[in-house]
Structure 1
Amino acid sequence: MRSIHDLEPQLAANRRYWTGWAGVGGADEPDADVPIYRTDIPHSLLNGVLRIRNQSLDQAVETAKQRLAGSVWRWWVGADSDAGTADGLLALGATQFADLPIMAVDVTKLAPFDNPAELKIQPIAGRAEMTEYVDAYAGPLGIEGDLSRVVDREMGFAYPDVTRLAGIVDGRMVGTCTLSLGTDVAALYCIATDPGFRRRGIATALTLDALRIARLTGRRIATLQSSSEGALVYRRIGFETVGRYQRFAFPA
């Protein structure tokens, strides 16, 4: 039986989700030794390298720099990368950009929670709803500029097994949560709440709704990467920190 501490399936789910942003044929396979993905959206989550294994780091860095030139990109280092990758990247001129906790929960053991009475949760479909969805998470996630490019990427996502849940209050979309079911581990992304509607349980409700969907599909484990602020919310739900991602940037 899979445990929340089985890290490789969670990292595989993460690789699949981010390569999906590049669209069909726009990125390496998620299980490649050096999976590179590029969207040309100027945000550090949306372009990068997801791991390295069984490869020369020097050569992989040169290849990444060539393929990602002109974009804002980062290099992910988790337990699926070769030992010594972080130190090797630093030696090659990278700087550490972030250190993210990888959190997981057993979805069969969810804590009880009553959704805010005013909140309606619904899946989104179609470009008009997608445009509103992207607009709702762009600000909290720090995505700026022409959001139509983000909408295009969401609409052209490489994999069909992604559900996007919107939190609606008084007819306004105030929260988002994306659920990826591309592997046997559920993975959550784009969990965001409008600043004016925080501390009302909206992010908790959206996260739990996604986890219930995952449970209905027969999955047992769900994973996400968290900010320090978000980790407090997820711990209350039952998530535990099971690993970490370091993310590195090279000079432009």
Structure 2
Amino acid sequence: MNIVDRADESYFQAWRAFGRCAAGGAVRESSGLLCVSSGLPVAFMNLAFVTRPLSAPEDQIASAMAFFDSRREPFIVRIREGLDRASEAACERLGMPYSDTVPGMASTSMSVPAPPAGLDIRLVDSGPALHDFRAVISAGYEIPMAMVEAFVTADLTRAPEVESYVGYADGQPAASSTLAFGGRVAGIHNVATAQEFRKRGFGEAMTWHGIERGAAYGCDMAALQSSEMGQPIYARMGFRVVSPYRTFHRPGV
């Protein structure tokens, strides 16, 4: 598999795990369409991925709409740029216009610098650590704690292909990251920093920690999906955009 295909599969594999472990989650996959429900009423937490060109795009996208409608959940569709223009057109015809593109980035450099002074990174392997991890996610992404608790469950910390980490500074939970590994790819997710600890390099350090742990599991490549704010930081770390994911949404839903 080339870098793009490996980055794709890493993204899909992580969301399969997230959906499988979420309190009210569900995963449905068939013929190039992967639907992952978080059980939450938030569109960006419920995704339909086109994983390869669809044989009947309009019917299959409509089936994804029916799946999420049956669960009373808003959702978005993500399609890698250039993968399947017919599916993009089907989204538009079904009332799901294009909204934005998420940069999928990858790096084959697994050389990791030392973390900044004052950051103590620990594995999430207990109730207290899970609470601290959730607190950072809630603060960093400005998501209600109840939603984080439903999505980031104890089951996720026990998933064999997933590890999560909390970085502590001044004795307080300050930053977070999650590693989802498979196919020799270290997928990095949930990188967040509480507002009072920003501008200290902690988010970058948490990303490097996930990469280092991935290398220990035999990964020779790292992949992530970046926000607009994070993209310059990841570029400085050696990541490059390899798989832009186009997003289609349902207005008003």
TM-score, scaled to structure 2? 0.87
Residue in 1 aligned with 2:90?
88
Write the mapping of 1:66-215 to structure 2, written as runs, cut at 5 A.
66-69=66-69, 70-78=72-80, 81-108=83-110, 110=111, 113-144=113-144, 146-147=146-147, 149-150=149-150, 153-157=152-156, 159-215=159-215
Partners of 1:8 and 1:80 within 8 A in 2: no
Shift of 1:142: 4.1
Aligned residue type for 1:55: S
Residue 67 of structure 2 corresponds to residue 35 of structure 1: no
Taking only the aligned residue pairs, the percentage that are identical comes to 20
Aligned residue type for 2:234: Y
Residue 17 of structure 2 corresponds to residue 15 of structure 1: no
Partners of 2:78 and 2:246 within 8 A in 1: yes
Distance 1:65 1:137 in 2: 29
For structure 1, the residue ranges without an aligned partner over 5 or more in a row are none
Shift of 1:216: 2.1
Distance 1:192 1:122 in 2: 15
For structure 2, the residue ranges without an aligned partner over 5 or more in a row are none
Aligned residue type for 1:94: M
Distance 1:74 1:245 in 2: 11
Q: Which moved more, 1:91-100 or 1:13-22?
A: 91-100
Shift of 1:169: 0.6
Question: Matched residue pairs, number?
Answer: 245
Shift of 1:132: 2.1
Q: Deviations over 1:106-136 (max 9, x none)?
A: 133x3x6442211101111123322221221
Aligned residue type for 2:54: N
Shift of 1:149: 4.1
Distance 2:76 2:234 in 1: 25
SS of 1:36's equivalent in the other structure is: strand
Aligned residue type for 1:101: P
Partners of 2:183 and 2:219 within 8 A in 1: no
Distance 2:175 2:149 in 1: 20
Distance 2:20 2:147 in 1: 17
Distance 1:90 1:193 in 2: 36
* 1:148–1:220 Cα change, 3 Å: closer
Distance 1:189 1:132 in 2: 16
* 1:62–1:54 Cα change, 3 Å: closer
Distance 1:131 1:98 in 2: 32
TM-score, scaled to structure 1? 0.87
